Amino acid sequence: MFQQSLNGTWQFRRLGESEWLPASVPGGIHTDLLALKRIPDPFVADNEHAVQWVAENDWEYRLIFSPASALLQEDKVFLVCDGLDTLATVTLNGHLLGESHNMFRQYRWEVSERLKAGENELRVVFHSPLAFLRARQAEKPLRGGGDIPGGPHLRKAPCQWGWDWGPKLPPIGIWKDIRLEGYTTARLEDIHLRQRHAGDQVTLHAAIRLEQWQEADLQVTLQVTAPDGATQVVQGKPGGEHDRPSACLLQTIIHQPQRWWPNGYGTQPLYEVDVALWQGQKQLDRRTCRLGLRTLELRREADEWGESFQFVVNGVPIFAKGANWIPADSFPTRVQDAHLEWLIRSAAEAHMNMLRAWGGGFYPEDRFYDLCDRYGILVWQDFIFSCGIYPDDEAFFDNVRQEAMENIRRLRHHPSLALWCGNNEMEEGWVNWHWDDPTDHTNRRLKAAYDRMFHHLLPAIVADEDPDRPYWPSSPSSGIPFDHPNDQQRGDTHYWDVWHGRKPFTAYRQQYPRFMSEFGFQSLPPLATIQTYAPPEEQNITSYIMEHHQRSPSGNSLMVSQMTDQFRLPKDFASFVYVSMVLQAEGIRYGVEHWRRNRQRVSGTLYWQLNDCWPVASWSSIDYFGRWKALHYLARRFYAPLLLSMEENDLRLDLHLTSDLLQPWQGEVAWRLETLAGHVLEQDELPVTAPPQRDSLVASLDFSARLTEAERRQVVLIAELWQDNELIGQSLATFVPNKHLMLTNPHLQWEVATEHDQAVIRLRAASLARFVELSLAETDAVFSDNYFDLSPNRERRVSVPLPAGWDGERLRQALRLRSLYDSYA
């Protein structure tokens, strides 16, 4: 076996032009033009409009290369394209190799007879996706699938046509690795690893399929290396029990296995699996991967509320805590390894254990799943269909069949992969968005195609290729046959009445889904991010540029409406940005705390969304540049294994302690009713024992006889969770909206000291400081806590890594603080 990468510097041009320009592969036309300064940055101002011509044109890549001599000595040589986006014609030395019609597939063509010693010319012509859509849409109109009509006709990421958080910038280009692969005699075509758990051992089965073109005495070895370095090896010959020369079945028993757990439930040990194909002493091919040993099921059992919807790992029911994942850049080849790891690590640091890879993007790359394996993040994986009606012809079904099979085979060894889901919100569309028209023949045919695709074809492929993982037909869904998506008695739910329906945050408490897989509320990104796309004169919530970077219909007005219901009108734009982030964080907190209190009924919450694909006002908790918003800091608190929360009913409040721990926990809850100036009116301390994986009512408090109408504006209830004199968690409740609190200047004071590579900030306030925000003037930073409440006469300690080259004094000078009072006073 010999591989020769063709990644690197290519040439490209607009088809029909004479000038060849340098291109980076993997890459895309937009990013190459941007690097050459031939187009403006489409993320700045409204430059998106100025680059629409790019996707209207056809483009051509070429590479002049010489194959390695070792490659030419192999029996067969293949050109392997891991990703072509999307409509491509590929030629080698003037000979047609094939065409691509799907950005999600790998294309492989044998080039043994076309490849020559010395210089070869490889060309890839990409055809305009927009011209293709217009032609198909004129012939067979289809509904939905993005802002550009006809998106479902093409197997390309739907969000690239424009979405309610993303721009219309459909990339074109060689977006994944491209290489030559040479083999002699045979190659490993597919490896399917399955686990059987019994007591303190795991039997690992490896079904190995070969592609063989010469008769030979072959042997396959399977080596498993444990996290501690211990190895075991088994070997066999093709044929064996399968009685087929192109297949081999091997198995080995792993004693005392180190099991893989989701984040917060245990560690994530990974075993190295090495499969090699041999002819005598010559290694013909080799594949390696990392494997986590664990069991997983989606438990759906009848109960007092309907039917459960709970993930169970290694026999332990998991409360899913997480968010939805979208592509991390509108131009996916720009996502660097460090940025991707930052996003996944940030999810883990916020105690998340699940991300939903949303069906309007693309199947995440291997490195995404490698990181989720390492950090213990389960992945709900949608197939790439979203919010549209798709074609019903056989060519389309054949294309999807191959796409599904390839991506299942690519990803199924990952322990983080938890579920295959048919699509995003298409069952919802047929049932609740008036897609269904029984009087229209074409409509009936397309609905039948939906049934065939998501209730027959895809589940059958999953059953064949990955039978140990559950399949779910849509999100949201009530299951097959679909009749009631968002049924709160079964299946999963998307709840958007707070954002799109303009309902108050308290509406979340009326919802009791079995699994909440989407809900969200928007904010602006941090001011430093806004400054990258909006000049000072455009930094106004209703300005043209600010509205251009807001893709949700009426999004900014929805934000303002909710904000003025709960907060005073901010005094300036910077304060508006701050309050928008606080508002978003409070809304999501309110919903998550309610659903966690009802964890026996609700089995998970995935808010919309974790990340952004460009700098924009959106539902994300981490912005395009990786900056944590207030929501992500609060997520680290409301997703903590132990959650102290309050359920408010006017002047009556219930204190709850919710535990995700697998063992009982003992500590104390201290609560106090105090004035904004810090005078304690009532208080108590209660010993608590939290049973494992349960919610407990700690206390019911009633202040209806204690507080007058005027006093409500001057007092708050603060509850704290303690263990061994350490503060574990805190919750604060007000008796009026924040805008009516009689806050005074808290006169925040702070001291900065250094401890090793950390700066430690000690803060105090003269009166209650709500949502204290810390930031650094010259750089980005993640603090140990942020957007917290600081009671008067109590010290709060916050740490932050010292930026490279900084000392404590420089950090002290760069430190900026504000609280809610500062946003309007």
Residues 254-262, mean pLDDT to the nearest whole number: 98
Among residues 182, 215, 233, the one where a domain terminates is: 182
Same domain assignment for residues 670 and 629: no
| Assigned token pair, 366 | 């291997």
Residues 115-129, mean pLDDT to the nearest whole number: 98
- The answer to whether residue 215 sits within a structural domain is yes
Between CA 159 and CA 163, with CA 161 as vertex, the angle to 5 degrees is 50
- The answer to whether residue 351 sits within a structural domain is no
Among residues 236, 271, 291, the one where a domain terminates is: 291
pLDDT tens digits, 370-381: 999 999 999 999
Find all residues with CB under 8 Å of 682, minimum gap 6, and list them. 672, 673, 706
Beta strands in 601-725 (DSSP E): 604-607, 642-649, 652-659, 665-675, 680-690, 694-702, 715-723
pLDDT exceeds cutoff 60 at 21: yes
Check if the beta carbon of residue 654 is closer than 8 Å to that of residue 647: yes
Same domain assignment for residues 705 and 786: no
- The answer to whether residue 780 sits within a structural domain is yes
Q: How far is CA 766 from CA 177, 443, 682, 752, in A?
A: 59, 66, 20, 18
Same domain assignment for residues 671 and 631: no
pLDDT exceeds cutoff 80 at 244: no
pLDDT tens digits, 740-774: 999 999 999 999 999 999 999 999 999 999 999 99
Same domain assignment for residues 173 and 89: yes
| Assigned token pair, 691 | 């049973």
| Assigned token pair, 179 | 């290489």
> Where residue 245 falls among pLDDT bands split at 50, 70, 90?
low
Residues 476-496, mean pLDDT to the nearest whole number: 93
pLDDT exceeds cutoff 80 at 241: no
Q: How far is CA 725 from CA 655, 669, 685, 722, in A?
A: 20, 11, 13, 6
- The answer to whether residue 124 sits within a structural domain is yes
Query: CA nearest 721: which of 801, 640, 779?
Result: 640
Same domain assignment for residues 762 and 807: yes
> Where residue 437 falls among pLDDT bands split at 50, 70, 90?
confident
- The answer to whether residue 368 sits within a structural domain is no
- The answer to whether residue 357 sits within a structural domain is no
Same domain assignment for residues 623 and 672: no
Beta bridge partners of 796: 763
- The answer to whether residue 725 sits within a structural domain is yes
Beta bridge partners of 220: 236, 277
pLDDT computed for residue 146 by the predictor: 87
CATH number at residue 588: 3.20.20.80
* Domain containing residue 824: 743-825
Same domain assignment for residues 687 and 563: no
Between CA 248 and CA 254, with CA 252 as vertex, the angle to 5 degrees is 155
Same domain assignment for residues 125 and 191: no
Same domain assignment for residues 144 and 9: yes
pLDDT computed for residue 439 by the predictor: 84
Check if the beta carbon of residue 325 is closer than 8 Å to that of residue 357: yes
Residues 362-368, mean pLDDT to the nearest whole number: 98
pLDDT exceeds cutoff 60 at 482: yes
Among residues 182, 217, 233, the one where a domain terminates is: 182
pLDDT tens digits, 802-811: 999 999 999 9
Same domain assignment for residues 593 and 534: yes
Q: How far is CA 578 from CA 10, 104, 343, 637, in A?
A: 45, 39, 22, 19
Same domain assignment for residues 17 and 144: yes
pLDDT exceeds cutoff 90 at 624: yes
Instruction: Tell me how many domains the chain contains.
Output: 5
- Give the separation between CA 407 and CA 528, rounded to whole angstroms: 38
Check if the beta carbon of residue 39 is closer than 8 Å to that of residue 30: yes
CATH number at residue 265: 2.60.40.10
pLDDT computed for residue 246 by the predictor: 83
Same domain assignment for residues 506 and 599: yes
pLDDT computed for residue 243 by the predictor: 46
Among all chains, which residue has been given the structure tokens 């051992």? Answer: 201
CA dihedral 690, 694, 697, 698 (to 10 degrees): 10
- Give the separation between CA 80 and CA 765, rounded to whole angstroms: 63
pLDDT exceeds cutoff 50 at 273: yes
The larger pLDDT score, comparing residue 448 to residue 242, is at 448
- The answer to whether residue 469 sits within a structural domain is no
